[in-house]
């Protein structure tokens, strides 16, 4: 059964879609309220409708949709350093994440990677996300609640360097400035066969991380970066876009192939 | 609970890992048999052991692991045009796939993308994969069975241009030479709000596909390519690898935002 | 003998260099005048000095330098579509330009490529640059005069499609929307053994150009693009820059290997 | 006057061109001799002919051409680490080289960059190339003699770290493992206003080089890399080539903006 058969229910995020406009995901709640870009609206009539149905707001008809992962992330401010989809997608692959996986992530940051992980592990999996900055956790927690996947995420404030509280997890993802400092904690928390992935912006960090990983009980070590090139299909033909993000981060991946000493 | 707590059981794929050697996933079956690279082996003692345990084969100790998605794909011959992990990861994102999703894919090809999709939709989801070449389907079917996810995949031989048998699916992924020719079938099969992703090697194909998508009931159209740059951390320092795959394919993504006319 | 031994003479472009400031090339002329960013200045005392000498302007000491090619181009407004140094450098290679070469270029555009060509052919070579837009030629002419190389450049207004006035030239460089339309004129103007290079922003243009070249008396046909990645060496380490130009243009090169029919 | 008007003279390099065959530059000498790929040939009849004329060798007609810079380099074995044209072209730009320039280069290596430099400085310029390995110098010397530009090149065997013999040169190009160690020698040899360019394969080398340059009497410091993407225009459409060189080296550039202390 696919998602479209389910009627939209209160509390879900929805998208008021209209061609050519920027769509901002909204929480479907009953009653009047002020919504940025719309003024005072009452979304109550949308409850019980289905994706593809039309809702007229302030005289303008919109198509009702559930926001995709891409819709959800598109509206987050770029100011926060967000793990990009290209990196998140490859990171899930290196972390060997699938429905049911138990994954530790640190730091929580913007919550973008947390959302990717929470979606990928599904209702039977779990994401434990560490961050020492409560204000980061607060924003991320709200975003994951909005996306409807907060129930499968554990937020832990505090210093991962002191060790993770979990053990025998399937994967650990490090998005911190000094991943090498956390390797002892990773070795303790990760099950044998589990995966480690790191994400760092500089070559210096990547190099030190890879060298440290090689000295530990890890195998299948790999390092790479992904470059995303948007493409423009216009009247005059097709070409790469002039605008492009020049750099995000380097990925390193490894599997724990032996028990800790 | 994480995977490592489960003992290895008969029929599962396993990995005999040994540092510095290339590991080839094997099916864990009882009894003696000939295994490429090992000669005659008897893996029976591995049944009931756990990841991280040691198995001695022909006098050499190996660490027992479950193969990761990366391990599984790494051993497939490159001759077949395989959707690369970087593209598969981003494709899952554009297709908005999560546990429970119902996804149509065509063509089956090597089965690499089928495996990515089958893993991502989980036991509650479903992948329906079309290919008109029975020999492709045969190989892919074996690979997915080996990986233990064949139960969630439906193989359909035949011409998708005549229409898909499914309706209201969450996503359709087209890895065919002429994606534009399948758009009417896609519109019929896809639920409103569902996602379409195409993967094509030339600019001409990308351009024609994007133009055709724009004429249909689709929104949020995007096009891009990913370039993967392996990194080498060696004695003398860190640099991009000299060897690199210069090109794979271009991705286009869109959502069905209106009912078919 | 190197340039630094020559004293700075009136009419030359100079650079008032000061660490951390953006340096704008100025024409060294005697007498007071208003200079953007400086107010009223009198550069007369700089005449006869040498590179590396200090000139105090409005109480601030500056190092006198001759502007490099990079200094000259850096101050041109980006609004004009400027052939980038990476492309210009490779284009000179494909065009097989060296001191003494005679090169046709069309269109003149911003004059950036004209300047690269004029510098590379030297005082014994010649650049003939066609453009149908007098306003482009005017700006380019001033820029080349400022750079001191206008004497080796011939500006021709008018439509190159009607044919070039020159014959037996060493190279022709096409930076126009429809290079294929000019190939008959190129074949007439180019000596056997001479080089053709084209520069176009879209794949469609590149493809049509390459196919047309292949049908003509050309050999050694090649096509490529260059991606420039700025690098940032900062306190925290080294990484690619976040800012990057996503695309400029595609280069195609060929040699005329037979006489025109 | 363009080159084609000059008849081919003894001692020049020539190219026997034939569509679809790989052309190898040959020295035009009178008399019979063994030429790889042709057997015994006598090129004497070619003396006095012009580019575009036909010469029949062993019953097959060839078009006579002068080899371009690209033709010359294309036949050098790849085994030697050759500075690629994309890097050489940009390097000439950063070094601000033009006809008449005096340039120091170290090391000589394969002689590829030496050839680029020798062509760019012209008959009025000079390239002084240092290398401590006589066997490198020997090969490079032969290649430059073959290309007809050896007269403008000075080969110096020995250790540049001990200092360059020249002073007030226009540019210094460092293609050595430890560029930072040569900076004192560079500062002594370079005129104020002159340019320094370095070319190094790892990030570690680039970073150390840039940091060292910043501590010296240099300004306008820049660092970047170029990625070359070959393009394939085929029957089925246009796409980037599957084969691609993943990495060559990083470029850093700077100008000497103050006299040495």
Give the tokens for residue C118.
């004029």
C236 Cβ under 8 Å from any chain A Cβ:
yes
Residues of B in contact with C204 (CB under 8 A): 203, 207
pLDDT score recorded for residue B261: 55
B165 Cβ under 8 Å from any chain D Cβ:
no
- ω into residue B107 within 30 of 0, thus cis? yes
List, for residues C179-228, the tens digit of each pLDDT value.
Answer: 999 999 999 999 999 999 999 999 999 999 999 999 999 999 999 999 99
Distance from CA of D207 to the nearest CA of A (A): 10
Residues of B in contact with C207 (CB under 8 A): 203-204
- Chain A residue with the nearest C-alpha to that of C225: A240
DSSP labels for D89-131?
HHHHHHTT--TT-EEEEE--TTSHHHHHHHHHH-TT-EEEEEE
> Considering CB atoms only, which of B201, B237, B240 is closest to D246?
B240
Distance from CA of B97 to the nearest CA of D (A): 28
φ, ψ at A168 (rounded to 5°):
55, 35
Distance from CA of A170 to the nearest CA of B (A): 6
Give the tokens for residue C116.
């690269």
Q: List the single best residue of D203, D206, D208, D247 to mutate versus A (max A Cβ within 10 A).
A: D203
Do A202 and C246 make contact, defined as CB atoms within 8 angstroms?
A: no
Do D238 and B205 make contact, defined as CB atoms within 8 angstroms?
A: no
Tell me the C-alpha distance between B115 and C229, whole Å.
Answer: 35
List, for residues B98-128, the tens digit of each pLDDT value.
Answer: 999 999 999 999 999 999 999 999 999 999 9
**8 A C-beta contact, residue A249 and residue A215:** no
Q: List the single best residue of A237, A238, A242, A251 to mutate versus C (max C Cβ within 10 A).
A: A237
Residues with Cβ within 8 Å of B250's Cβ and at least 6 positions away in sequence, in order, are A231, B199, B200, B201, B202, B203, B205, B206, B223, B224, B225
pLDDT score recorded for residue C260: 57
Classify the phi-psi angles of A37: left when phi > 0, otherwise alpha if psi is within -120 to 50, otherwise beta.
left
Residues of A in contact with D200 (CB under 8 A): none
pTM to 2 decimal places: 0.95
Do D207 and A207 make contact, defined as CB atoms within 8 angstroms?
A: no
**8 A C-beta contact, residue C13 and residue C72:** yes
Give the tokens for residue A217.
């009980």
Q: Which of B162, D237, B68 is nearest to A193 (CA)?
A: B68
What residue spans of chain D are helical by DSSP H?
Answer: 69-74, 85-94, 112-121, 134-146, 183-189, 203-215
Residues of A in contact with C203 (CB under 8 A): 237-239
Q: Which of C219, C227, C228, C230 is nearest to C255 (CA)?
A: C219
Residues of A in contact with D203 (CB under 8 A): 203-204, 207
Residues with Cβ within 8 Å of A127's Cβ and at least 6 positions away in sequence, in order, are A103, A104, A105, A114, A117, A118, A121, A152, A153, A154
φ, ψ at D117 (rounded to 5°):
-65, -45
Q: How far apart are the first and last CA of chain B?
A: 48
Residues of A in contact with B123 (CB under 8 A): 99
Do B168 and A258 make contact, defined as CB atoms within 8 angstroms?
A: no
- Chain D residue with the nearest C-alpha to that of C84: D90
pLDDT score recorded for residue A161: 84
Tell me the C-alpha distance between B60 and B56, whole Å.
Answer: 5
Tell me the C-alpha distance between A117 and A83, whole Å.
Answer: 12
Distance from CA of C45 to the nearest CA of D (A): 19
- Chain A residue with the nearest C-alpha to that of C229: A246
D237 Cβ under 8 Å from any chain B Cβ:
yes
Q: How far apart are the first and last CA of chain A?
A: 48
Q: Which of B253, B210, B249 is nearest to B228 (CA)?
A: B249
List, for residues B196-228, the tens digit of each pLDDT value.
Answer: 999 999 999 999 999 999 999 999 999 999 999
Tell me the C-alpha distance between A185 and A178, whole Å.
Answer: 13
The answer to whether the Cα torsion of D233, B133, B224, B68 is positive or negative is negative
Find tokens 């040498």 and name the residue.
C50
Q: List the single best residue of A178, A224, A226, A240 to mutate versus C (max C Cβ within 10 A).
A: A240
Return the SS3 of C118: helix
The 10 Å CB-count burial string (b at 16+, else e) for A92-128 is bbbbbbbbbbbbbbbbbbbbbbbbbbbbbbbbebbbb
pLDDT score recorded for residue D3: 47
Q: How far is CA B193 from the centre of its chain?
A: 24
CA dihedral B90, A235, D242, B137 (to 10 degrees): 60
B203 Cβ under 8 Å from any chain A Cβ:
yes
Q: Which of D172, B38, B100 is nearest to A99 (CA)?
A: B100
How far CA A194 is from CA of A167, A217, A255, A257, B72, in Å, comes to: 11, 11, 6, 8, 15
Give the number of other Cβ atoms within 10 Å of residue C73's Cβ.
Answer: 23
Average pLDDT, chain A: 93
pLDDT above 50 for B2: no
Distance from CA of D221 to the nearest CA of A (A): 19
pLDDT score recorded for residue A3: 47
> Considering CB atoms only, which of C4, C231, C257 is closest to D192?
C4
B197 Cβ under 8 Å from any chain A Cβ:
no
pLDDT above 70 for A88: yes
Residues of D in contact with C258 (CB under 8 A): 52, 63
Give the helix, strand, coil percentages of chain C, each rounded to 5.
30, 35, 35
Tell me the C-alpha distance between B91 and B101, whole Å.
Answer: 14
Give the number of other Cβ atoms within 10 Å of residue C177's Cβ.
Answer: 12
Q: Which of D194, D174, D182, D183 is nearest to D249 (CA)?
A: D174
Do A203 and C245 make contact, defined as CB atoms within 8 angstroms?
A: no
Long-range contacts, C179-185 (Cβ 8 Å, 24+): C179/C205, C179/C209, C179/C212, C179/C252, C180/C208, C180/C209, C180/C211, C180/C212, C182/C106, C183/C212, C183/C213, C183/C216, C185/C160, C185/C161
Average pLDDT over residues C19-41: 88
- DSSP letter, residue D53: -
List, for residues C81-120, the tens digit of each pLDDT value.
Answer: 689 999 999 999 999 999 999 999 999 999 999 999 999 9
Give the number of other Cβ atoms within 10 Å of residue B36's Cβ.
Answer: 7
Find tokens 């509206």 and name the residue.
A75
List, for residues C111-165, the tens digit of each pLDDT value.
Answer: 999 999 999 999 999 999 999 999 989 999 999 999 999 999 999 998 888 899 9
Do C51 and D191 make contact, defined as CB atoms within 8 angstroms?
A: yes
Q: List the single best residue of A99, A102, A170, A179 to mutate versus B (max B Cβ within 10 A).
A: A99
Q: Looking at chain A, which subunits does it touch, using at least 3 CB pairs closer than 8 Å as the criterion?
A: B, C, D
Classify the phi-psi angles of A142: left when phi > 0, otherwise alpha if psi is within -120 to 50, otherwise beta.
alpha
The β-bridge partners of B85 are none
pLDDT string in tens for chain D (261-residue length): 344 578 999 999 999 999 888 888 999 999 999 887 788 989 999 999 999 999 999 889 999 999 999 999 988 876 556 899 999 999 999 999 999 999 999 999 999 999 999 999 999 999 999 999 999 899 999 999 999 999 999 999 988 888 999 999 999 999 999 999 999 999 999 999 999 999 999 999 999 999 999 999 999 999 999 999 999 999 999 999 999 999 999 999 999 998 755
Q: Which domains does chain A have, with CATH numbers?
A: 3-67 (3.10.330.20), 72-256 (3.40.50.150)
Tell me the C-alpha distance between D226 and B242, whole Å.
Answer: 13
| Confidence band, pLDDT 50/70/90 cuts, at residue C2 | very low
Do D86 and C86 make contact, defined as CB atoms within 8 angstroms?
A: yes
**In chain C, pLDDT over 70 holds for what percent of residues?**
96
pLDDT score recorded for residue D2: 44
Give the tokens for residue A172.
């650990």
Distance from CA of C198 to the nearest CA of D (A): 14
C225 Cβ under 8 Å from any chain B Cβ:
no
Tell me the C-alpha distance between C59 and B41, whole Å.
Answer: 87
Radius of gyration of chain D (CA): 21
Q: Which of D103, D254, D190 is nearest to C68 (CA)?
A: D254
C217 Cβ under 8 Å from any chain D Cβ:
no
D219 Cβ under 8 Å from any chain C Cβ:
yes
List, for residues B22-48, the tens digit of each pLDDT value.
Answer: 888 999 999 999 887 788 989 999 999
Tell me the C-alpha distance between C164 and B147, whole Å.
Answer: 66
Q: List the single best residue of A202, A209, A238 to mutate versus C (max C Cβ within 10 A).
A: A202
Chains A, D: CB pairs < 8 Å: 7
pLDDT above 80 for C79: no
- Chain C residue with the nearest C-alpha to that of B202: C203
Distance from CA of C77 to the nearest CA of D (A): 19
What's the 3-state SS for B112-123? Answer: HHHHHHHHHHCC
| Confidence band, pLDDT 50/70/90 cuts, at residue A79 | low
Residues of C in contact with B238 (CB under 8 A): none
Q: Can you count the helices (H) and strands (E) in chain A? A: 6, 15
Q: Which of B117, B143, B142 is nearest to B129 (CA)?
A: B117
- Chain B residue with the nearest C-alpha to that of D240: B247
C61 Cβ under 8 Å from any chain D Cβ:
no
pLDDT above 70 for A93: yes
Do C242 and A247 make contact, defined as CB atoms within 8 angstroms?
A: yes
Residues of D in contact with B245 (CB under 8 A): 242, 244
> Considering CB atoms only, which of B229, B238, B246 is closest to D241?
B246
The answer to whether the Cα torsion of A137, A138, A140, A142 is positive or negative is positive
Distance from CA of C206 to the nearest CA of A (A): 10
Element (H, E) at A40: strand A39-42
Distance from CA of C213 to the nearest CA of B (A): 19
| Confidence band, pLDDT 50/70/90 cuts, at residue A75 | confident
Q: Looking at chain C, which subunits does it touch, using at least 3 CB pairs closer than 8 Å as the criterion?
A: A, B, D
A207 Cβ under 8 Å from any chain D Cβ:
yes
| Confidence band, pLDDT 50/70/90 cuts, at residue A261 | low
């Amino acid at each position: 059964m696919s998602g479209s058969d389910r009627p939209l229910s209160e509390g879900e995020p929805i998208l008021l879609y209209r061609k050519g406009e920027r769509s901002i995901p909204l929480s479907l709640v009953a009653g009047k309220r002020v919504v940025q870009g719309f003024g005072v609206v009452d979304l109550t009539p949308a409850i019980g409708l289905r994706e593809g149905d039309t809702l007229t707001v302030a005289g303008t008809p919109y198509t009702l949709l559930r926001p995709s992962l891409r819709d959800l992330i598109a509206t987050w401010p770029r100011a926060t350093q967000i793990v990009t989809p290209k990196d998140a997608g490859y990171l899930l692959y290196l972390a060997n994440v699938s429905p049911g996986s138990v994954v530790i992530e640190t730091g929580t940051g913007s919550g973008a990677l947390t959302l990717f992980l929470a979606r990928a592990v599904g209702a039977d999996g779990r994401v434990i996300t560490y961050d020492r900055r409560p204000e980061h956790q607060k924003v991320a927690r709200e975003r994951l609640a909005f996306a409807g996947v907060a129930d499968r995420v554990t937020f832990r404030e505090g210093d991962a360097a002191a060790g993770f509280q979990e053990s025998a997890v399937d994967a650990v993802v490090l998005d911190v400035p000094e991943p090498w400092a956390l390797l002892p904690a990773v070795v303790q928390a990760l099950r044998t066969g589990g995966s480690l992935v790191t994400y760092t912006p500089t070559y210096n960090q990547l190099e030190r991380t890879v060298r440290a990983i090689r000295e530990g009980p890890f195998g299948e070590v790999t390092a790479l970066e992904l470059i995303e090139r948007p493409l423009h299909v216009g009247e005059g033909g097709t070409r790469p876009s002039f605008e492009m993000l020049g750099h995000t981060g380097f990925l390193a991946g490894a599997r724990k192939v032996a028990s800790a000493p």
